[in-house]
Amino acid sequence: MKVEQIVLYLVQLPLLQSFETSFERISTKTAILAEVRAESLSGWGECVADRDPFYSPEDNTTAWHILEDYLIPEVLGKPSDTLLKHLEFAGKIRGNRMARGALASALWDLEAKRRGIPLWDLMGGSRNRVACGVSIGIQESPEKLSAKIAEEMAAGYQRIKIKIKPGWDLKILEHIRCLFPDIPLMADANSAYTLADRDRLRSMDQFGLLMLEQPLYCDDLYEHHLLQQTLETPVCLDESIRHCRDARAAVAMEACRIINIKPGRVGGPDEAIRIHDLCDESGMPVWCGGMIETGIGRAHNIALSTLRNFRMPGDISAPGRYFAEDIIDPEIKIDPGGWITPSNSPGIGYEPRKELIEKISCTRKVFADR
């Protein structure tokens, strides 16, 4: 099945509430969607690059450029199943894993649809339900945060993650633990600390966190290793794991005890599965992170989370928490116990709403095989 057409969309979706991390506050989600067309089937992927290069060196502009000028020319006119088997099309391109992830995930969706099987099945997944946690951004006040936590616990989420940064950390954690002594709780710093903050980070051990996510600089495995040695709380790496080689190094040097896999961050499903397998063999649990994706990216994350070593609740809260209207049908729903049942329809298992996608696209470009 030859890839006949690829369409890129740059979409913008307003957030119901702004989302604040240690590096920025956003009130609109901006994402590139990739649609790969062959024989009247469409595979869909989402690029997790942000508007700004703050979470990662990539942003939407660089990702679009890499897709348009390097990746798409490698894929157009090629047989889709061969591309999937030998995802070598990005072999020469250094970095730019998020751009690659958009196209690779669209090819996986297309291949699952060609075979008429769900994406989770193509990926080798075995779980028939996926555990959901929720990520809560930095709030205006501790009271607002605790009200949000109560709300999300009531909605059934199986663990709470809060965002922290210097000045919004120890007091906040203390406040939460007073009100909710036993909830499964973790904190994500998005690289807001340095080793000089070692004592501050160590004092977080008292709060019984499931893990501390990405405390230190994004490309510094060595310093995370030094920190982990002095910390009881498991360190979980997110930004630091760009591909499977990073994961291997992190395991070998004990830079963390848990890995957050975001397929969109590591170059797509094939690399995500490679990291999953490596961690499985090494006894390192993983969970699936999120990037406030639309339903398309979320559906990919759900499919991946059915693999056996996804042992902890992922950041796969319902897109309805973020957006007034999602771009897929049916809506992704979490049950009262905090589980999602993966769709058994072919591919990602949800139908992209083409009209809405066109409506919210600020840019759209069609690339055709000539």
| Residues that are catalytic | 163, 262
Name which of ligand OSB, Mg ion, none residue 152 binds, using a CB cut-off of 5 to 8 Å depending on partner kind: none
Q: Do the Cβ atoms of 164 and 192 come closer than 8 Å?
A: yes
| Binding flag, residue 41, ligand OSB (CB under 6 A) | no
Of residues 47-106, which lie at the interface with ligand OSB (CB under 6 A)?
55
Name which of Mg ion, ligand OSB, none residue 346 binds, using a CB cut-off of 5 to 8 Å depending on partner kind: none
Buried b or exposed e, range 8-27, using 16+ CB within 10 angstroms: bbbbebebeeebbbbeeebe
Contact pick of 66, 131, 292, 302 for ligand OSB (by CB under 6 A): 292
Binding segment (CB under 6 A) for ligand OSB, from list 2-10, 39-47, 122-130, 290-298 = 290-298
Of residues 303-322, which lie at the interface with ligand OSB (CB under 6 A)?
315, 317
Query: Residues with Cβ < 8 Å from 232, sequence gap 6 or more?
Result: 205
d(CA 151, CA 145): 10
> How long is the chain?
370
Name which of ligand OSB, Mg ion, none residue 317 binds, using a CB cut-off of 5 to 8 Å depending on partner kind: ligand OSB
Binding segment (CB under 6 A) for ligand OSB, from list 170-178, 289-297, 328-336, 362-370 = 289-297
Question: How far apart are CB 134 and ligand OSB at their closest, in Å?
Answer: 7
36, β-bridge pairs: 6, 43
Question: How far apart are CB 349 and ligand OSB at their closest, in Å?
Answer: 19
d(CA 187, CA 170): 11
Residues that bind Mg ion (CB under 5 A): 188, 213, 238
Question: How far apart are CB 287 and Mg ion at their closest, in Å?
Answer: 11
H-helix or E-strand containing 41?
strand 41-47
Please state whether beta strands 339-340 and 130-131 pair in parallel, antiparallel, or not at all (unpaired). antiparallel
Helices 295-304 and 97-115 cross at an angle (nearest 10°) of: 70
One DSSP character per residue, 179-242 reads H-TTS-EEEE-TT---GGGHHHHHGGGGG--S-EE--S-TT-HHHHHHHHHH-SSPEEESTT--
| Binding flag, residue 238, ligand OSB (CB under 6 A) | yes
Contact pick of 98, 104, 112, 291 for ligand OSB (by CB under 6 A): 291
d(CA 82, CA 3): 11
109, β-bridge pairs: none
Which residue's beta carbon is nearest to the bound ligand OSB? 290
Residue 331: Cβ within 10 Å count? 12
Of residues 170-199, which lie at the interface with ligand OSB (CB under 6 A)?
188, 190
227 conformational bin, left if phi > 0, alpha if psi -120 to 50, beta if neither: alpha
Question: How far apart are CB 237 and ligand OSB at their closest, in Å?
Answer: 11
Binding segment (CB under 6 A) for ligand OSB, from list 88-96, 151-159, 217-225, 284-292 = 284-292
Contact pick of 80, 135, 139, 240 for ligand OSB (by CB under 6 A): 135
Question: How far apart are CB 250 and ligand OSB at their closest, in Å?
Answer: 16
Name which of Mg ion, ligand OSB, none residue 268 binds, using a CB cut-off of 5 to 8 Å depending on partner kind: none
d(CA 204, CA 231): 9
Name which of Mg ion, ligand OSB, none residue 306 binds, using a CB cut-off of 5 to 8 Å depending on partner kind: none
Name which of Mg ion, ligand OSB, none residue 42 binds, using a CB cut-off of 5 to 8 Å depending on partner kind: none
| Binding flag, residue 290, ligand OSB (CB under 6 A) | yes
Question: How far apart are CB 74 and ligand OSB at their closest, in Å?
Answer: 28
Single out the residue of 188, 141, 139, 140 nearest to residue 160, CA to CA.
188
d(CA 269, CA 304): 7
Binding site for ligand OSB (CB under 6 A): 21, 55, 135, 188, 190, 238, 289-292, 315, 317
